[in-house]
Structures are given as structure tokens and as C-alpha cells.
Structure 1
Amino acid sequence: MGWPLKVVTTGDLGALCHVLWSWELCDNCLNATSKGLSRCGVALCNCAWGRRAERLEPFFEFYRQTTRPYVPDFFGDHDQAIRSHRDLLDILELIKSHGTDRTRGGCMAEYFGRRSGGKESLVPQSDQDRAFELAARIMTMTHVSCEKGQDMFSAETNWDIESKQGDLLPQWREQYTLPESLDHLFMACIHPSLQNSDPQSKLIRETLTAVNLKKIAGLKIESTNNLHDHLKLNPSTGTVQIFHQTTFLKEHLLATLSTRDIPGLSRHLALETICTIQLLFPPENATSQSFLRNLVSKGGFDPDCLRFGTASFELPGRGEKERAMRFPTWGTRLMHLYDEIENPKPRGRVEAWLERRSKSRHVMMVTAIGVLTAVLLGLFGLCLSIFQTWIAWRQWKDGDHR
């Protein structure tokens, strides 16, 4: 059957926005068979697609890259879990409608039971799992696993930045709803040093910028499309991953202004993530903004990252921004990054060698530089003495001959 999700049309992307965020689209936009972000061609069409689709191109590209590799599992006469983009959208719609009160097992039983007409589904269990993994990833931009195996729902494992287990995929277990699983994964843990009551909070926030992470800590900033990897530090490579899809987060916030939360992401998580980006790239700092523009043009960051301000996405009178700025979800990772600025780890080979041999690598490095300088000066003095001796010898020899 090949790759059933290889081709993505304008109509597929429009239907995706309709399912995820309830965009009101005209029939022409929903049924468009062209590729790209072209409008339906109706002169008076003023639906959401024509006004907002262009900004979502980074998310649409993520959707294309995520869905394209899907290949169904076939065993004998078995069916495939996803036959077209319409099947994937139907799964998304089911999770959105019943995701808060129905477990993954319940949603899967309903969807594949409906397709088989109440009979036993011919879709392999592994393929069913992959279909719901794909749907959850599109809906939340968080890579989770639906396969049975390691359990990744302990808070200690999830937030242990330097743990090798941190690279394992978190699970969406069969007996959990999607919001329950995400609540376990993005567990709140307010860090006291980032609160206004701490006298050092203002200094920490001013110091904690992407420019300082690069210049002082020697870290490299990379983009990620996995929300779970946001602000994750890789000590071995010296990289920090930043979730950059702010247009996706803002669409989620707009969609939930007048309705309940869409299953998966909570409003506070989406808003807090945007606030962390604005913390690392303060809009009033010209150097930070230049760095961010460079990441947009060369690092694959969503251009919407350059658009600051969240007032139009907040619920009025709820104090959402104030709660988000307490960083209940990302505070621990932010403080890990602050520690890198205050106590930079060795990145180069020379610094790493010195680190292994001294508790105070900076003192040892200065000493080594001093010794090297002394040796060079000694060699220079020796060469100068030899040269002077040679000149004196030449003068003596010339005078003796005369």
C-alpha cells in the first residue's frame, strides 16, 4: 500500500486546523486538492485559512515530516490503521471530543470498533498503537509511546536532565486519558529562586538569556519540535533545545479562550512555554533580538517567535500571565541553565582535561598560561642573547682581520 500519508493537500491542512482549533472554513478551502498554502480562489472568501494559514507553515511542515514516514503493519489479511489523512483526522477528532473522559484504550476500542462495524478489528495492535501515537504527537507536539514497555511517569526520571533514561519516550498508557498522561509528564514543581519573593529572582531572570548561555556557558541553541524536550540541556554536546513553534501554541490559546481545554495541552503549559522564550530573548535587548533573528533565518525557528506580547491570548481577569511567569513547569530546567551560566562546564578538550585534574580549573588554566608565557619569554630572551653574542663575535672577528 506504500505511504498513505505521503501527499498532503491544502484541503488536508485546512481540515487539520478545523479539527484541532475549530477553524470555520469554506467548502472550497476544505476540499482543495492543491498542495501548499494556496487560497481557494473565491474572491470574497474571508475564512480563517486565508487570514491565518501562512503563519502556520512551520507547523504544517512538522505535520508533513511527521506523517510522511508512516507505513502500515501488515500481517496476513490484516487491515491498516491509517489509510489516509482523513483517518488520522478522525482519530484526532475522537480524542478531542472524548479525550478528557475516556482512556486511550477506550478511544481505540471505539474508533476501530466503529470501523469494523462492531466486529473484531483486523488492524494489528501494533498498528493501532502507532496510529494513536501519531495523533497524540500532532495534537500536543509531544512525542509519546503507546507501546507496552518502560514506564516513564516518575517525576524524578522526567526531570533528571542528565539521566540517560531521559532520552526514552514517555508513555501514554492504555488506562490513562491523554490529559492525565500529560499531567504526569509535565508535572508542576515551582522553583523558589524564580519567585518574586526571592531577592535574587530579578537578577536571575536578567542573567538567564540565550546570549549568556552562548557567550558565557558556551552552549549552542537548537530548535526542537518536541515540547517535552523544551529547555533540555545535553551536557555531552553542550546544546540546549528550544521548542520554537509559538504559532501552534498561540492557536491553541485562541481556540480555548471561549471553550474548555483541548485534551492534551493545558492553557498554562502553552502560555508558560511562550513566556520562557520571551525570558531567554528579552524584547528590550537588541543583542538578544539579533540572536533570535539569526535563529529564525538560519536555525529553523518559527518566525512568530519574533512577535512578542500575549495579552490577546490570555483569559481576561484570570491572572494567567502572572501564574505563567512563576514557571511552575519549566522552572527546574531554567535553573539548570542558570547554573550553567554561573558555573560554566568545560566544553573544549583543554578545559575538559584541566577539569579532570583540578577542582579549580580556572586557577590551573591561568597557571598553565603563566608557565607557557614564561617559557616563551625565556626562549625569546635566549634567542636575543644568542643574536647579540653572534653580533659581538662578528664585530670582534672583523676587527681582528683589520
Structure 2
Amino acid sequence: MESRISSDINQDVYLDIVMALWSWDLSQPCNERRPHACIHQRCIGGRIPQLQRYFVYYKAIVSTYMDATSATTRGIKTHGDLFHVVSILKTNPDATLLELCRLIDQSTGSQTADGTRTVDAVALGVKTLLMVDPSALHHSSDRLEKGTYRIHWKEDVPFSKYIQDSFPLGNHSILSYDNSESFADVKKELKAVNLKKRLGITIRATSDIRNHLHFDRKNNYLEVYHYTSFLKEQLRVTRDVGDCSSPSSSLKRGVLPRQLVLEVLDSLQGTLFPLSDPRSKKLLRSLISKCSFDPDILNFEVSSVRRVGEESVPYVYLVDRLADLYNELQTPRPRGWLQQSMQRKSGARHVMMATLIGVIFAVLLGIASLAVFAWYAFMEA
């Protein structure tokens, strides 16, 4: 009997999750739901423990969905229902939100007039598959000011187009070119220990990839997406396949564009927290224990997740946010009442000085004019 959807998840559900998301090729003991009996050294079922932080996230989004919906009317009643929604998303990456809702209703035999129920099911599927929250937000000035306003997924917009719009491309003269002379120097400046020391930034964990590296200037905190175990699984899916650069081609395999995933992973282990730096590793351990960061972030992997030539990663998706942080380091804004007051007084003093210089210049010019006029008068006399 299929398990009812619940935040109480056992080992069997873990295996179902990884099969639904990444089609793991499990060994016979794992397929028979006996992972403890698996002795095959290369069985990928052994990666289950590394994904524990993702499973905590899965429990949280399922629990939130259950709290927000009625048991009698919710569209997803079992974990299998959720995995079916995930399958529809992967099979139809170019379908609009409205078309996806219809496909889900048709597959479940539901003819309800409550479209919100199915939209909520789609949102839960996207959260599970991509760790991106497409739920509609209330349009409030507070959210706009904080910069957390998300692109609204309109019902006539394809899934792939929505993902494309959620992660716009950018360009930077240094950060977008990993072969430039200053590339490594700029990355060194952007270490999290430097951001904390020089800018006093607080680091906050986020489970939505779109919020990664979002810098809230008003409250002086930096959001950091930290689920490296999830990122590595996404990279493994496309490591040995052809081009997966477009949202449509990558979503068919159930993952985000490969370049985007590489940038997020590299920004964590190569820029913010370079694992070769003792101070950065110490900060990471603190974030793991105090902020529930994914412990896998301390495990650096290359050959198992990256292709040849991907050892160094240029930035095009995250470039604007990284450049914003770098600019803040170069010309930090005043923080706190005292610094802002000093800057305002300093600005007023500069204005007064400029005005005084102008007055003195005008007086001297007037005296010189009088002297010239007097000299001409004397000569005529």
C-alpha cells in the first residue's frame, strides 16, 4: 500500500525520492528496500546519508503543504502523487502552468473547479524537483524593499520560460572570464570571512536557489544557499550527457541548467568558502553547527561531478550579485546612525567649503576690478 503523504519519512521514501528525482541505478538490495544489506562498494545507494539535509528540506515543504491544505481536498495525498507531479514536470518542460495543471487533473481523474489546489500541487513539485519556490507572493512594499519579490508564474508562461526568467544572465569584465588576470584576485576578495570582517555582514541560510547571494543592504545580511549534496546530484545527472545549457533541455532531465548549478557550487566551495583556507573552513563548521548548513559543503568533489574543463567556472548567472558584493567591498556604504550622521555632516561641510571659496573668489575678483578701474581713471587724469 502506498504511504500517505506525511512529514514522517522512512528509508523507503528516501529511495523513492532519489529514484523520482534522479533515476538512480540502485543495486538489488537497495531496489528490494534493503539498503542496509547492500555491500556493493559502488552502489550509489551509499550516497543516501549525504542527502540528509535535503531530506530535512523535503519534510519541511511537505509539512507546510499539509498545514496549508485540507486532507479531504488536497491534490497530493501520497508521496507517489507528488512523484507523479514531478514526472509530469520533467516530461513537459515547455508546457504552461495552465497546461501542467490540466495534465495533472487528467492523470488523477480530477475535475475540480478549484484551480488553486492543482497550482499548489505544481508548486510543491517544483520545490521538490529544483528547490525553487514558485508560489505566488503577496505584492507588498516590504518584500519589494527587501528584494525578495519573486517573478510571478503566470498561467500562460511555459515552465522552461519561467525558470529562464528566474535566472537572468549577466556579464562582468572580470568575473565572467575565468582566464583573466584579475579573476582569482577578485574571488579572494569575496571570501565570506572578508565580507564579515570588513562589512559586518550576517550570513543567513536559504533553501531557495534564487535567493543565493541576495544581499540585503538595509539589514546587512547575505542569503546563502548551501545544499551542495543536492547540487552534486544535479551535476551527476548531466555529467556524461550532451548539451544541457537551455532550461528546456535540462528540465527534461529534472535539473537546472548545468552552468547555473556549477556557479552555485563554485561560489560556495571556491569563492565564499574556499576549502583550502583554514579560516573559511572554521566559519563553515560554525555555520553547519549553528545555522544547519549542509555538512556536505566540506566535501570537495571534482571528477565525480565535473567534466574535463570545468575545473574553473566563469560567472554569468551569479555575476551581478557577486559584482554587487565586490563593489560594496571597494566602496562600502555607511552603516548605522553614527556613520550616516558623520557622512551627512561631512557632506554639509563640503558644501559650505565650496560656497565659502566661491564667495572669496568673487570678493577678490571685485577688488581686482576696482583696482583696474582706479588705475585707468588715474591715467586719464
The TM-score with structure 1 as length reference comes to 0.74
User: Unaligned stretches of 5+ in structure 1?
Assistant: 33-38, 151-161, 362-402
Q: Per the alignment, do residues 304 and 359 of structure 1 end up closer, same or farther by CA in structure 2, a change over 3 Å counting?
A: farther
**Aligned residue in 1 for 2:366:** none
1:68 matches 2:63: yes
**Aligned residue in 2 for 1:59:** 54
- Paired AA for residue 111 in structure 1: I
Output one character per residue of 1:217-269: Cα deviation in whole Å (capped at 9) or x when no partner: 11111211110010000111111111100100000111222346324511111
Deviates more, 1:82-91 or 1:251-260: 251-260
**Aligned residue in 1 for 2:79:** 85
Contact kept, 8 Å, 2:235 with 2:305, in 1: the verdict is yes
Q: Per the alignment, do residues 269 and 7 of structure 1 end up closer, same or farther by CA in structure 2, a change over 3 Å counting?
A: same
**Aligned residue in 1 for 2:90:** 96
1:143 matches 2:136: no
Contact kept, 8 Å, 2:131 with 2:207, in 1: the verdict is yes
Aligned match for 1:287, one of 264, 279, 283? 279
Output one character per residue of 1:303-331: Cα deviation in whole Å (capped at 9) or x when no partner: 11112243321234xx3444xx2200111
Q: Report the Cα offset of residue 198 of structure 1.
A: 5.5
Map 1:209-220 onto structure 2 (within 5 A): 209-220=191-202
Contact kept, 8 Å, 2:22 with 2:254, in 1: the verdict is no
1:258 matches 2:240: yes
**Number of residue equivalences:** 331
- Paired AA for residue 119 in structure 2: D
For 2:347 and 2:187, locate their aligned partners in 1 and report how far apart those are by CA, in whole Å.
28
Give structure 1 regions of 4+ aligned residues with deviation exceeding 6 angstroms.
none
For 1:200 and 1:360, locate their aligned partners in 2 and report how far apart those are by CA, in whole Å.
37
Q: Report the Cα offset of residue 173 of structure 1.
A: 3.0
Aligned match for 1:245, one of 223, 227, 230? 227
1:233 matches 2:233: no
1:185 matches 2:166: yes
For 1:65 and 1:182, locate their aligned partners in 2 and report how far apart those are by CA, in whole Å.
23
Output one character per residue of 1:348-385: Cα deviation in whole Å (capped at 9) or x when no partner: 34223323433499xxxxxxxxxxxxxxxxxxxxxxxx
Contact kept, 8 Å, 2:29 with 2:38, in 1: the verdict is no
Secondary structure of 2:64 counterpart: coil
For 1:43 and 1:247, locate their aligned partners in 2 and report how far apart those are by CA, in whole Å.
21
Q: Per the alignment, do residues 354 and 135 of structure 1 end up closer, same or farther by CA in structure 2, a change over 3 Å counting?
A: same
Secondary structure of 1:52 counterpart: helix
1:12 matches 2:46: no
Contact kept, 8 Å, 1:133 with 1:146, in 2: the verdict is no
User: Unaligned stretches of 5+ in structure 2?
Assistant: 245-249, 350-381
Secondary structure of 1:80 counterpart: coil
What value does the CA root-mean-square deviation take over the aligned residues?
3.0
Contact kept, 8 Å, 1:296 with 1:303, in 2: the verdict is yes
Contact kept, 8 Å, 1:143 with 1:226, in 2: the verdict is yes
For 1:12 and 1:333, locate their aligned partners in 2 and report how far apart those are by CA, in whole Å.
37
- Paired AA for residue 213 in structure 1: L
Q: Report the Cα offset of residue 43 of structure 1.
A: 5.8
Aligned match for 1:114, one of 107, 110, 132? 107
- Paired AA for residue 115 in structure 1: T
- Paired AA for residue 126 in structure 2: A
Q: Per the alignment, do residues 125 and 26 of structure 1 end up closer, same or farther by CA in structure 2, a change over 3 Å counting?
A: farther
Output one character per residue of 1:260-310: Cα deviation in whole Å (capped at 9) or x when no partner: 632451111111111111211223322222222222222211111112243
Contact kept, 8 Å, 1:146 with 1:174, in 2: the verdict is no
For 1:121 and 1:184, locate their aligned partners in 2 and report how far apart those are by CA, in whole Å.
31
For 1:293 and 1:238, locate their aligned partners in 2 and report how far apart those are by CA, in whole Å.
22
- Paired AA for residue 202 in structure 2: K
Q: Per the alignment, do residues 10 and 170 of structure 1 end up closer, same or farther by CA in structure 2, a change over 3 Å counting?
A: farther
**Aligned residue in 2 for 1:273:** 264
Q: Report the Cα offset of residue 41 of structure 1.
A: 4.1
Contact kept, 8 Å, 2:26 with 2:44, in 1: the verdict is yes
For 2:348 and 2:202, locate their aligned partners in 1 and report how far apart those are by CA, in whole Å.
24
Q: Per the alignment, do residues 313 and 284 of structure 1 end up closer, same or farther by CA in structure 2, a change over 3 Å counting?
A: same
Output one character per residue of 1:42-64: Cα deviation in whole Å (capped at 9) or x when no partner: 36577856411000001000000
Q: Per the alignment, do residues 49 and 257 of structure 1 end up closer, same or farther by CA in structure 2, a change over 3 Å counting?
A: closer
For 1:40 and 1:57, locate their aligned partners in 2 and report how far apart those are by CA, in whole Å.
15
1:171 matches 2:152: yes
Q: Report the Cα offset of residue 14 of structure 1.
A: 1.2
Q: Per the alignment, do residues 320 and 26 of structure 1 end up closer, same or farther by CA in structure 2, a change over 3 Å counting?
A: closer
For 2:16 and 2:5, locate their aligned partners in 1 and report how far apart those are by CA, in whole Å.
17
Contact kept, 8 Å, 1:271 with 1:321, in 2: the verdict is no
Map 1:300-311 onto structure 2 (within 5 A): 300-311=292-303
Q: Per the alignment, do residues 359 and 5 of structure 1 end up closer, same or farther by CA in structure 2, a change over 3 Å counting?
A: farther
Which structure has more relative contact order (CA 8 Å, sep 6+)? It is: 2
Contact kept, 8 Å, 2:30 with 2:38, in 1: the verdict is no
**Aligned residue in 1 for 2:332:** 344
Secondary structure of 1:223 counterpart: strand
Q: Per the alignment, do residues 28 and 51 of structure 1 end up closer, same or farther by CA in structure 2, a change over 3 Å counting?
A: closer
- Paired AA for residue 174 in structure 1: E
The TM-score with structure 2 as length reference comes to 0.77
**Aligned residue in 2 for 1:364:** none
**Aligned residue in 1 for 2:120:** 130
Secondary structure of 1:312 counterpart: coil
